[in-house]
């Protein structure tokens, strides 16, 4: 039985913003089965989408109240300076003696979807710094303080998502995105055009797919004959979408908007440091995650290319294989051009992978999709392992 990835486990594994951007390489313009290639030039234009670069029209009205706590060690002159600076920048501010239970933090209260109130509590230390839960401001940095306050007015207590771990999502928000992307993809993707493949995804309305200007421009420049080179039918829609987009130099990531909603923003991989990964690091030992790969059996083949070997292994073990094609293209590695022999021996497919992939300067990793389904990920030998 497949088990959904625990969110708390992922938080511990990821630790910070994910550096999981696939390698970028020019998209191939040919298919291994050209007779099955579907061109998109004769299809009707895609429906217009609201660009992900644009902010939503409706941002909740936000009322800010800043409280600065003082103590026995606080400098009264510095406190007066901060009060004056806040008044000049029109930041509602009160300064009071801190109680024993008072702690820096932000409390958000919502009234419907159109109004929210933020109470921001900070502490004034003996040097005159304003110390908050996750940041501090030195004397004279009232401009930085004002910029942060404006950010909170726009995005609420979570602040702007840029630069935060897990794309700036809370655990509850991350769980919502994971659940929406855990539904299996029901359509075939191999040798199917990008337009047709994307039309077959059934993404949740609460997390719509939106294209940034750069991603839309890149898509418009694609050769109509370009098709997906692999089948991800049956994989979860998160892993499937990440792979389909990566093959043409694109990716996606959750984007938390000022009104608190979350969309899936399609981006150009060039210059985008953290996108949704093609699979996740498993929380089980390899033999427990994919037992068929570690069963000893007689394996023998000769004069067959690595692509054929990988297909045969899936037929025997039932564990699917996906290939990091953009990465391999960038390193001019073509698995179909490497013929391998494997003398008859009793071994496991896990051991066989190590031997045959080494001939192409490649390796494999055992990953799982959003539902916990294991799969073999083939990538270049230089690619860092997906480990915590």
In a domain, 48, yes or no: no
Same structural domain for residues 192 and 340? Answer: no
Give the residue numbers spanning the domain of 229.
7-30+164-277
- The predicted structure's pLDDT at residue 267: 95
Question: Helix 142-155 to helix 76-88 angle, to the nearest 10 degrees?
Answer: 60
pTM of the model: 0.76
Q: What's the pLDDT at 34?
A: 38
* Residue 271 domain flag: yes
Q: Which residue is it, tokens 């969110």?
A: 7
Helices (H), the chain: 7-14, 76-88, 142-155, 171-180, 194-199, 213-220, 237-246, 286-289, 306-317, 325-330, 349-358
Looking up residue 363, the CATH number of its domain turns out to be: 3.55.50
- Same domain for 269 and 171: yes
| Tokens (6 digits) for 211 | 């294209």
From 94, 124, 158, the end of a domain falls on 158
**Number of helices and strands (H, E) in the chain?**
11, 15
Cβ atoms of residues 68 and 124 within 8 Å: yes
What is the number of alpha carbons within 13 Å of residue 82 lying toward its C-beta?
Answer: 31
Q: What is the pLDDT of residues 233-249, one digit of tens each?
A: 999 999 999 999 999 99
Q: Do 14 and 178 contact (CB within 8 A), yes or no?
A: no
Among 158, 176, 205, identify where a domain stops: 158
**Long-range Cβ pairs for the range 251-254 (8 Å, 24+):** 251/21, 251/22, 251/275, 251/276, 252/209, 252/276, 253/167, 254/167, 254/169, 254/173, 254/174, 254/177, 254/207
d(CA 3, CA 319): 16
Token pair of 292 as six digits: 């068929």
Domain count, the chain: 3
Do the domain assignments include residue 49?
A: no
DSSP string, 46-77: PPP---TTSPPS---EEEEEEEEEE-TT--HH
pLDDT, one tens digit per residue, over 355-380 is 999 999 999 999 999 999 999 999 99
Environment class of 160 (CB within 10 Å of its CB; exposed 0-12, middle 13-18, buried 19+): middle
Q: Are residues 271 and 171 in the same domain?
A: yes
Domain boundary among 131, 158, 185: 158
Structure confidence at residue 234 (pLDDT): 96
What three-state secondary structure class fits 265? strand
Q: Looking at the structure, tell me whether residues 263 and 170 fall in a common domain.
A: yes
**Residue ranges, the chain, pLDDT below 50:** 1-51, 54-57
């Amino acid at each position: 039985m497949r088990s959904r990835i625990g969110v708390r486990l992922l938080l511990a594994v990821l630790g910070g913003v994910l550096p999981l951007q696939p390698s970028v390489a020019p998209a191939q313009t040919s298919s291994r089965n050209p007779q099955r290639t579907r061109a998109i030039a004769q299809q009707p234009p895609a429906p217009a989408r609201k660009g992900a670069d644009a902010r939503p029209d409706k941002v909740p009205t936000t009322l800010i109240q800043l409280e600065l706590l003082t103590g026995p060690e606080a400098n009264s002159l510095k406190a007066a300076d901060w009060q004056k600076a806040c008044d000049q920048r029109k930041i509602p501010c009160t300064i009071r003696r801190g109680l024993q239970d008072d702690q820096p933090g932000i409390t958000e209260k919502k009234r419907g979807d159109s109004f929210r109130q933020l109470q921001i509590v900070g502490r004034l230390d003996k040097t005159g710094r304003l110390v908050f839960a996750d940041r501090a401001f030195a004397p004279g940095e009232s401009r930085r303080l004002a910029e942060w306050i404006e950010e909170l007015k726009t995005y609420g207590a979570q602040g702007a998502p840029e630069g935060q771990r897990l794309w700036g999502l809370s655990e509850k928000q991350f769980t919502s995105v994971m659940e929406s992307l855990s539904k299996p993809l029901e359509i075939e993707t191999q040798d199917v055009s990008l337009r047709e493949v994307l039309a077959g995804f059934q993404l949740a309305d609460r997390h719509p797919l939106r294209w940034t200007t750069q991603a839309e421009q890149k898509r418009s420049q694609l050769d109509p004959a370009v098709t997906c080179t692999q089948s991800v039918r049956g994989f979860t829609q998160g892993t499937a979408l990440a792979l389909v987009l990566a093959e043409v130099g694109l990716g996606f990531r959750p984007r938390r908007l000022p009104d608190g909603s979350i969309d899936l923003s399609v981006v150009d991989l060039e210059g985008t440091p953290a996108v949704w990964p093609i699979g996740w690091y498993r929380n089980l030992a390899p033999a427990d995650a994919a037992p068929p790969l570690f069963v000893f059996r007689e394996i023998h083949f000769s004069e067959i290319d690595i692509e054929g070997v990988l297909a045969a292994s899936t037929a025997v073990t039932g564990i699917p294989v996906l290939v990091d094609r953009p990465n391999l293209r960038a390193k001019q590695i073509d698995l179909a051009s490497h013929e391998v022999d494997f003398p008859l021996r009793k071994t496991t497919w896990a051991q066989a992978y190590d031997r045959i992939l080494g001939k192409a300067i490649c390796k494999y990793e055992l990953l799982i999709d959003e539902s916990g389904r294991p799969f073999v990920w083939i990538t270049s030998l230089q690619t860092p392992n997906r480990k915590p």
